[in-house]
Structure 1
Amino acid sequence: MGQVNENAAAYFVDRHAKGAAAEKVAFTEAVDGGRSLTYAALGEQSGKMTALFEKYHIQPEDRVVMLVHDVVEFPVIFWGSLKAGVIPVPVNTLLAADLYALILDDSKAKSLFVSEVLLDVVKPVLKDRKYLKSVFVIGESQEGFLSFNDELATVQERPTTQASADECAFWLYSSGSTGQPKGVRHVHGSLQATSDTYGAQTLKINVDDVVFSVAKLFFAYGLGNGMTFPMSVGATTVLYPGRPTPETVFDVIRRSNPTVFCGVPTLYAALVSAMPDKMPNGMERLRCCISAGEALPAEIGRKWKSATGVDILDGVGSTEMLHIFLSNAPDDVVYGTSGRAVPGYQLRLVDETGAEVGAGEIGELLVNGPSAADGYWNQRDKTRSTFEGVWTRTGDKYEKQADGRLVYCGRTDDMFKVSGIWVSPFEIEQALVTHKDVLEAAVVAAMDENDLEKPKAYVVLKDAVSKEGLEERLKEHVKEAVGKWKYPRWIEIVDDLPKTATGKVQRFKLRSQ
């Protein structure tokens, strides 16, 4: 009896490419002239990557950076790298050139795969990268660079490399809600671990599903939504390479009739605000919506359910845990909470001494589960402080309710005390967005005239709102909603809030102002 190949590509790609789903569409691009890719074609094209890497002297365990939009080449390169034993490093397509230089140097990437429209962004920093040997462009061929599609056409398919479940498979760089991104190393077995837990038991993914994830594939959240979960059962993913606005998202939904929609709170708020009187076309088959990246304001969840008839399953995940480990579940949704542990994961809330807190108390969330990262690259101290045996520190503060549900309070470094009592920025933000004139809000600590910390709110208003007397109305609104001592002492109206590309508000930038 031969050795079982635990290479994740054998399970997610080869199993379907040679099975009943071979001629089924795995990925389809929801744009004019968009292309589709069947499981059989994905199997063949990803199988060519081993030969392509050999041609350009890229060895197993070498890193290759993927600066690639959500197009059909993305899964080909990602899974093809796993098949070859090469480590793909998908990165955020919205970063500045100096951060791409940092990531290319930090990862010691031998090769870069870049979408044609992103080449001009990264081109200025390519010549000084001492580890980088080759650059493949996806799209129209560019002088001085290799054409990915042309090069792939010159090589033949190879068998999938043997790998163990514990071997490093890919890296993701954390989105940097608190500063510089960190390289997070994940093993082959973690991908199936997330599909066996959240994908199968919370999302209940099935072969007939059509999934549209607004979160892009280069995020841990988007990678699970758009690749791991649908590919675990032979379902179909809708890819959209453009910027998600209410207009473009409604258009993709109309074109693709998804059964599963995956968003982030910022976008759900914008969609609810832009929702026409009747449910948008294309939502007729929608059976499940999920949210992560930041806690979902209860008001947004209720408005979405009222407009579409479908609940949003608000959940919590992280780059370090690869996907969602704490979530509301179908038929068990309580808006304003993050739900309970996903089957397969254990959670603890601890105080500053490491002691577990009781119901009604606030503590830092620790998680134990099968998809935890293997650690950070080149950041040993950070690895040791985050990964404590089987437990991973999330850096998030939660309150435990009597029924076991957890309520988000904020990042550990976002929390502050007013009159000696912990204040959750998120609680004040939730109160603010229930006001009819407020689209978004972020709250941080600011010093008053006595050098004591008090809440300060940054507020994004809906269109055509009068600002006259608004500040006092918002303060009174918060006092009535969450308590007189928690109201923001200062309110600043802004056009937008600083965010990571996952939609997380970067409160550290607001604090620095």
Structure 2
Amino acid sequence: MPDTPESFNASVYLVDRQVEAGLGDRTAVTGPSGTLSYAELAGLVAELAAGLRIHGIRPEERVLMVMSDRPETLATILAVMRMGAVAVPVSTMCTGAELGALFRDARARTVVATPEFADAVSIALGQAPEVATLILAGDQRPGGREQASHERGGREPGGRERGGEEPGSHEPDAGVAVLAWTDVLAAGRASGAEGAYPTWADSPALWLYTSGTTGAPKAAMHRHGGVRGVCEAYARQVLGITSGDRCFSVAKLFFAYGIGNSLFFPLSVGGATVLEPSRPTPAGVAERVRAERPTLFFAAPTFFAALLAADLPADTFASVRLAVSAGEALPPEIYRRFTARHGVDVIDGIGSTEALHIFISNRPGQVRPGTSGTEVPGYEARLLDAEGAPVKDGDPGDLYVRGDSIATGYWCRTATTRQVFQGEWLRTGDTYVRSRDGYFTCLGRSNDMIKASGIWVSPMEVEARLLEHVSVAECAVVAFTDADGLEKPVACVVPAAGATVDAGELVAFCREGLASFKRPREVLVLEGLPKTATGKIQRMIIRGIAARILGGS
């Protein structure tokens, strides 16, 4: 008989371990939706896990969550992992139809939702016959009924009811048991909470949906051991996180970036997390920072730009010892302006849903603006050319990474899994260049590179130059194919507040700071740039906008 692997459960690692270490009275989670100590959180998680088991959830079964950032969400993720099931937090920005596709893909039997998403979930349930149970958290209760019904497909996209019904009147399908989160918790409390399920480091713990490197949403499958991996590598050895830290993340819990920032990292050391359930705005984030005084602040480059545009008081981030940027490369000018105004260092890095968090990063006090930094301890990165051969330092190549937190693959996506997960290595889909002293610089997604005048151009290099101009608030450089089939760099820019963009002046400005072939051939002024839910610029959409305006192919 093979040896039985050593038991390891990520929920126990994050919560029970802190109580056993005598940190039960310390604050684990706080924010406008409530505050819990570690002892309170541990009790809540154990009781909820028992309640979920009583209501038929089994180990290794998926539990899908459509929940805003609040203590109940944190407890649900932890409880699902504690009982050996698989937590699947999904984007709260999805429409009902988009949620329905995720429900079907995950083959989930149980969905947990917070009240503000009940209508979208109801639409999704009409498209997901395998869902048997809906658990409503927060203030919304099922009105004492265990069953409710409606006709499938009774709501049109956008939330408007067919037949003139008011929004909010939609109910789950017949056959879907509707339970209150508090009742599930009470059932677990009455039964007496049991110990954690004996999972292993390689047991499935978490799925995170991503479009990632290949388009359509797919679930990256993560192990219990991967949670520990990102905490011991990035959180401890890059952030230097301690029990005295308070973490506040603009990215939400359903993102890989957000779940690390707001759940894994602070709880792994007995620190505190600040949860904000509402959609992030510069004013709202600034208010939360002033109220909760976090020491670690996490956001994406576009949000750092938005904070600068909001012209917040210089002391807004006085409590923050370190800020972190990820999601896409942080332009050097945004870094310089933010640090100069707020006096807070920002370390940029690259991570991915498939890797669970950041694997290349700058270090506090050692930031090289415009780069993603160096390899995080525990990870190894390499750059390969199109034939799979290593490239020399200074030459661009496709970025591959390996480390303990890499996902085991995509759920039910064999062909894509084989393309992206190559043995121990994850093919990230990014083009990078490495300096002789080990700093990695992003040149963009591998399919975003532009060949102008027969020479490869990195859009990000041109964008960094444009952002240095006082008239530019945001920009994206994309390829435009002219009537002769030749690619040309085109700059789509959003003017700074009160500024007027002069296209000729911007082109000349780029000529002064870049090689001539890198200059944009056209400058288009837009009111805003389309972005994904994570704040990444949607270059494919922008390419289409440029083509329509310029009349090319």
Is TM > 0.5 for Structure 1 vs Structure 2?
yes
Paired position in structure 1 for 2:218: 182
Matching of residue 321 in structure 1 with residue 323 in structure 2 = no
**Aligned counterpart for 2:337 among listed residues 303, 317, 321:** 303
Paired position in structure 1 for 2:302: 266
Paired position in structure 2 for 1:151: 184
* Equivalent residue pairs, number: 505
SS in 1 for 2:527: coil
SS in 1 for 2:111: strand
Give the letter for the 2:336 counterpart: R
Contact 2:52 2:184 in 1 (8 A): no
Give the letter for the 1:496 counterpart: G
Contact 2:66 2:112 in 1 (8 A): yes
Paired position in structure 1 for 2:8: 6
Contact 1:47 1:158 in 2 (8 A): yes
Please tell me the root mean square deviation across aligned C-alpha atoms, in Å.
1.6
Contact 2:462 2:477 in 1 (8 A): yes
**Aligned counterpart for 2:346 among listed residues 309, 312, 322:** 312
Query: 1:98 and 1:177 mapped to 2: Cα distance?
Result: 23
Paired position in structure 1 for 2:521: 489
Query: 1:210 and 1:428 mapped to 2: Cα distance?
Result: 36
Contact 1:46 1:76 in 2 (8 A): yes
Paired position in structure 1 for 2:105: 106
Query: 1:402 offset after TM fit, Å?
Result: 2.4
Q: Structure 1 492/270 Cα, relative in aligned 2: closer, same or farther at 3 Å?
A: same
Query: 2:275 and 2:516 mapped to 1: Cα distance?
Result: 46
Paired position in structure 2 for 1:163: 199
Contact 1:175 1:502 in 2 (8 A): no
Task: Give the 5 Å matches for 1:178-327.
Answer: 179-276=215-312, 278-280=314-316, 283-327=317-361
Query: 1:487 and 1:384 mapped to 2: Cα distance?
Result: 38
Matching of residue 64 in structure 1 with residue 63 in structure 2 = yes
Query: 2:454 and 2:512 mapped to 1: Cα distance?
Result: 21
Contact 2:53 2:83 in 1 (8 A): no
**Aligned counterpart for 1:361 among listed residues 367, 381, 395:** 395
Query: 1:393 and 1:349 mapped to 2: Cα distance?
Result: 10
Deviation above 4 Å: which 4+ runs of structure 1?
A: 175-178
Query: 1:9 and 1:378 mapped to 2: Cα distance?
Result: 26
Query: 1:505 and 1:257 mapped to 2: Cα distance?
Result: 30
Contact 1:177 1:506 in 2 (8 A): no
Larger C-alpha radius of gyration, 1 or 2?
2
Query: 1:62 offset after TM fit, Å?
Result: 1.1
SS in 1 for 2:187: coil
Give the letter for the 2:76 counterpart: I
Give the letter for the 1:154 counterpart: A
Paired position in structure 1 for 2:94: 95
Give the letter for the 1:464 counterpart: G
Contact 2:28 2:38 in 1 (8 A): yes
Contact 2:381 2:399 in 1 (8 A): yes
Contact 2:213 2:428 in 1 (8 A): no
1:157-182, Cα deviation, whole Å (9 max, x unpaired):
22110011011111000155763211
Matching of residue 509 in structure 1 with residue 546 in structure 2 = no
Paired position in structure 1 for 2:446: 412
1:215-273, Cα deviation, whole Å (9 max, x unpaired):
11111111111111111110000111112111111101100111111111001111122
Query: 2:508 and 2:95 mapped to 1: Cα distance?
Result: 41
Q: Structure 1 178/300 Cα, relative in aligned 2: closer, same or farther at 3 Å?
A: farther
**Aligned counterpart for 1:499 among listed residues 531, 541, 544:** 531
Query: 1:288 and 1:264 mapped to 2: Cα distance?
Result: 14
Contact 1:326 1:341 in 2 (8 A): yes
Query: 1:324 offset after TM fit, Å?
Result: 0.4
Determine what percentage of the aligned residue pairs are the same residue.
40
Paired position in structure 2 for 1:84: 83
1:429-468, Cα deviation, whole Å (9 max, x unpaired):
111111112111112111123210111222122222234x
Paired position in structure 2 for 1:403: 437
Paired position in structure 2 for 1:381: 415
Contact 1:194 1:322 in 2 (8 A): yes
Query: 2:524 and 2:113 mapped to 1: Cα distance?
Result: 39
1:21-63, Cα deviation, whole Å (9 max, x unpaired):
111111101x3xx310111111111112333223322211111
Contact 2:52 2:188 in 1 (8 A): no
Query: 2:8 and 2:48 mapped to 1: Cα distance?
Result: 18
Give the letter for the 1:372 counterpart: I
Give the letter for the 1:394 counterpart: T
Paired position in structure 2 for 1:343: 377
Give the letter for the 1:300 counterpart: I
SS in 1 for 2:18: helix
Query: 1:182 and 1:148 mapped to 2: Cα distance?
Result: 27
